Amino acid sequence: MNVLLIGSGGREHALAWKLSRSPLLGQLFIWPGNPGTASLGENIPLPVDDHRAVSDLIHQKGIGMVICGPEAPLADGLMDFLADRHPDLALIGPGRSGARLESSKEFAKEFMLRHGIPTARYRSFGSREAEEAISFARSLGLPAVIKADGLAAGKGVVIAQTREETETEIRAMLEGRFGQASERLVIEEFLSGIEFSVFVLTNGDQYILLPEAKDYKRIGEGDTGPNTGGMGSVSPVPFADAALMDKVRDRIIEPTLRGLKQDGIPYRGFIFFGLIRVQGDPFVIEYNCRMGDPETESVMIRLESDLLQHCLDCHQNELNPGSVRVSSSHAATICLVSGGYPGDFEKGKKIEALPQTQPEEHIFFSGVSSKDGQLVTSGGRVFAVSCLGQDQLAALDQANRLADLIQFEGKYFRRDIGFDLK
C-alpha cells in the first residue's frame, strides 16, 4: 500500500522510519517532510494547506492511506475534504469535529464535564468578561491556570504565580495576544502532581493502547523556565503501573470513546491523553488529536508490532489489543534545540557531519533543512536523538552521548531528561 504521511518534524521522521519497516508498505510519500524523511520515502515540497493538491497527489500516486502527524491540518478539515473525494481512502486522523478535542479547550472541558471524565474544575470566559475571569481565577487561588481556547502552537497556557500576573495575563489574552485563539479563555484549578502521556489508536469503537511516555516541557534543567514543544521524553514511565493504567482505561480512555459516540462525533486516528497523576488518580490536562512530539520518537522505537498493520486494522475495524507488541527495553529521547528557543532564535546554522549510529540509536530530524547540499538548522527544535537501552539509565546515557556528538552553533539540550524518575 502507498502511504502519504503529513508533517515535517521529528514525530514524522519517527513515524516514517517505523512505517518504512513494514512489509505492507509500497511507496511512502511525506508532505512536506524534511531531509531525514527524504531517505525513507519521497518528500512532496508543497504547502499542506493546499487540500486540493493533496487530493490530486492521492490520485496520481495511487495512495491508499493518509496518516496526519500534526493537529493543524486536522483542525482545518483536511480529513473531511479527503473523505468526501476519496471514499475508499484509509484516513488516520479525525475530521474537524473530532479535532475539536484539541482545537478548542472549552469544547474539551465541556466534553469532559458532560461525560464525567476527571479533569480540573474550570470556567470559560469571552472577550468582554475580563473582570469575571479575574474574580473566578482569584476564587481558585494561586497559581492560576489560564488557557487560550484555541490552537496557539503550545504557547497558549500560562501558569500565573501572582495576582498581578494573573490579571495581566487574562487581560492580554482576552485583548488578543494569540489572535482568535485567545478570544475565549479557560481558567482552571491548578493540579499538583506528575504528568504523563498516553496514546491510543482508535476507530471510535475499538482501540489499541500504545506505549506510554513522559515528556519534559520546560526549557531549563530541573523543569525550570518557559514551556517548549517538548525537550525530551522517556518510555516506559516507571510510575504508570498496572493499577494506574487500569484507572486510565476505566475512567478516561473508555469514557472518552463512549462520549464521542454519544455526541455523534466520528473518530478514527490517534488520541493523545495528556494526563496528571494526583494522589494516585489520573486527571486529564489536555487532549490532542494526534501523537505527541517528542513522545512519538520514544514510542515508535519501542513498538515492535507493525504500525502500518495497526493503521490498516483501524481502517478495517479490526483493531486487536492483543496484536500490539512492545519491547521491554527503555527509550529515551533528547531534543537538540537552537540557542534562544523557545524565544527568538537564529536559523540557517550549519550542521556538521552527523555521527554514525548503531541500530538502537536514532537521529530524528525536526527543524532541519538542506541548502546547497548542506544540512542547516531551520527550527527551534532541530533534532530528536532517541536511544533504546536495557534500562532507563543506559538509554539516557547513550542519548546524551549522541547528543554531544552532533554539532551546530548555539546547540542546547537538557542533560537531566528522565533523571527525576530513577
Give the footprint of ligand GLY on this chain (CB under 6 A): 215, 229-230, 288, 292-293, 295
In the complex with ligand GLY, the residue whose CB is nearer, 188 or 215, is 215
**Whose grid coordinates read 509500497?**
26
188's contact among ligand GLY, ligand AMP, none, with CB below 5 to 8 A by partner kind, is ligand AMP
Helix axes 307-315 and 10-20, enclosed angle (nearest 10): 90
138's contact among ligand GLY, ligand AMP, none, with CB below 5 to 8 A by partner kind, is none
User: Which of 99, 145, 314, 382 is the binder for ligand AMP (CB under 6 A)?
Assistant: 145
In the complex with ligand GLY, the residue whose CB is nearer, 290 or 411, is 290
Sites for ligand AMP among residues 69-108 (CB under 6 A): none
β-bridge pairing 2-7 and 361-365:
unpaired
Q: Which range touches ligand AMP (CB under 6 A), out of 96-104, 182-190, 230-238, 391-399?
A: 182-190
In the complex with ligand GLY, the residue whose CB is nearer, 293 or 306, is 293
List Cβ neighbours of 265 (8 Å cut-off, separation of 6 or more). 94, 97, 98
In the complex with ligand AMP, the residue whose CB is nearer, 194 or 209, is 194
CB of 140 to ligand GLY, least distance (A): 24
User: Which of 53, 130, 142, 157 is the binder for ligand AMP (CB under 6 A)?
Assistant: 157
**Whose grid coordinates read 473508555?**
254
Residue 410 Rama label (left phi>0; alpha psi -120 to 50; beta): left
With DSSP H G I counted as helix, E B as strand and the rest as coil, what are the percentages for the chain, rounded to 5?
35, 30, 40
CB of 109 to ligand AMP, least distance (A): 10
288's contact among ligand AMP, ligand GLY, none, with CB below 5 to 8 A by partner kind, is ligand GLY
Nearest-CA neighbor of 245 among 217, 277, 214? 277
366's contact among ligand GLY, ligand AMP, none, with CB below 5 to 8 A by partner kind, is none
CB of 42 to ligand GLY, least distance (A): 26
Length of the chain: 422
Spatial distance between the Cα atoms of 34 and 106, rounded to a whole number of angstroms: 34
Nearest-CA neighbor of 337 among 212, 254, 226, 202? 226
The verdict on 113 binding ligand AMP (CB under 6 A) reads: no
Q: Which residues pair with 218 in a beta bridge?
A: 227
Residue 276 grid coordinates = 496528571
List Cβ neighbours of 56 (8 Å cut-off, separation of 6 or more). none
Nearest-CA neighbor of 334 among 272, 416, 410? 416
The verdict on 295 binding ligand AMP (CB under 6 A) reads: no
- Please answer whether residues 12 and 294 qualify as being in contact, where contact means their C-beta atoms are separated by less than 8 angstroms: no
The verdict on 153 binding ligand AMP (CB under 6 A) reads: no
User: Which of 286, 295, 306, 313 is the binder for ligand AMP (CB under 6 A)?
Assistant: 286
380's contact among ligand GLY, ligand AMP, none, with CB below 5 to 8 A by partner kind, is none
Rg over alpha carbons for the chain, rounded to the nearest Å, is 21
Sites for ligand AMP among residues 190-209 (CB under 6 A): 190-191, 195
In the complex with ligand GLY, the residue whose CB is nearer, 102 or 188, is 102
Q: Please, how many CA atoms are within 13 Å of residue 259, restricted to the half-sphere of its CB? A: 20
326's contact among ligand AMP, ligand GLY, none, with CB below 5 to 8 A by partner kind, is none
Sites for ligand AMP among residues 5-64 (CB under 6 A): none
Q: Which residues pair with 122 in a beta bridge?
A: 188
The verdict on 405 binding ligand AMP (CB under 6 A) reads: no
Spatial distance between the Cα atoms of 184 and 416, rounded to a whole number of angstroms: 36
Nearest-CA neighbor of 170 among 259, 117, 159? 159
Q: What's at 322, amino acid-wise?
A: G
Question: For ligand AMP, how many residues bind (rule: CB under 6 A)?
Answer: 14
Could you give phi then psi for residue 385, rounded to 5 degrees? -100, 120
285's contact among ligand GLY, ligand AMP, none, with CB below 5 to 8 A by partner kind, is ligand AMP
Q: How many CB atoms lie within 10 A of CB 133?
A: 27
The verdict on 188 binding ligand AMP (CB under 6 A) reads: yes
Q: What's at 152, amino acid-wise?
A: A
Q: Which range touches ligand AMP (CB under 6 A), out of 59-67, 186-194, 246-254, 388-396?
A: 186-194
CB of 328 to ligand AMP, least distance (A): 28
6's contact among ligand GLY, ligand AMP, none, with CB below 5 to 8 A by partner kind, is none
The verdict on 217 binding ligand AMP (CB under 6 A) reads: yes
- Please answer whether residues 124 and 109 qualify as being in contact, where contact means their C-beta atoms are separated by less than 8 angstroms: yes
Catalog residues that contact ligand AMP under the rule CB under 6 A: 120, 145, 147, 157, 159, 188-191, 195, 217, 274, 285-286
